[in-house]
Amino acid sequence: MLRVLAALTLCLALVGCDMLFKTPKWRWNQKLTVSVMTPEGMKIGSAVTSARIAFPLKWTGVGDAAGMQQGGVTGEAVVVDLGEGRYVFALLQGYTEWTAYTAFFPELEGKTLSKKEMGSYLDLMVASTGQTRELARKNYPLLVTFDDIHDPASVRRIDPGDLSGSFGSGYRLNAITLSITDEPVTEGIVSALLPWLPDYYSQRLDGQRFGTIKTENPFANSLASGAFDTNNRQ
């Protein structure tokens, strides 16, 4: 035991040995912008979220089974105000910490890289402040609207390729873009528009406590307030 402690003490004194205890991590702010063409012209909404990725070392026992990564995105959804009480929400659901990585390096999608290699690309991405990329449709966040903005259960999924099916002739999704930014995380837009949000952090939008196949409104049952806003979770 004394030999182990002596070896550990010596290791800690060596340059670079502290890497045994340092988790490689990246944190950045990313701005998602959604533009929608309407009969009255282009309508645009955006929101800045905070994203993080960490690669816990295997010996720590933290992370997934391979010690691969931890992370997440926090903030609020993008809101596009179409007028007349109609809105498009680009939710945090389906919008992960890897969305930016995929947007900036689409050629890497599906490739197996070491954590060191991925880290090098993450370094480049985080340093790309002010640069913007358009998301491929397969990487879009979940888009929704409400038949009645005051009724959580009236939430409906939007087909990105058919906004006219949700809003009528003349509506189409123009683009969804992502940029690395030093702007602060957006707060207050969603909570002001949806004052009922605090009541649905512990229940689904259909009023059920948990997800269930017995619900009469499966889509509303699949969503809770965390998909819209994580800033003010109670």
Q: Please enumerate in sequence order all residues whose Cβ is within 8 A of that of 1, keeping only pairs 6 or more positions apart, or say none.
A: none
Mean per-residue pLDDT, 184-208: 94
Looking at every residue in the chain, the average pLDDT score rounds to 86
Three-state DSSP at 35 gives strand
pLDDT, one tens digit per residue, over 52-82 is 999 875 534 434 434 455 789 999 999 999 9
Residue identified by tokens 């800690």 is 12
Cβ–Cβ < 8 Å for 30, 182: no
**Model-level pTM?**
0.84
**DSSP of 83-97, one letter per residue?**
ETTEEEEE-STT--T
pLDDT at 17 over 70: no
Q: pLDDT tens, 112-144?
A: 888 889 899 999 999 999 999 999 999 999 999
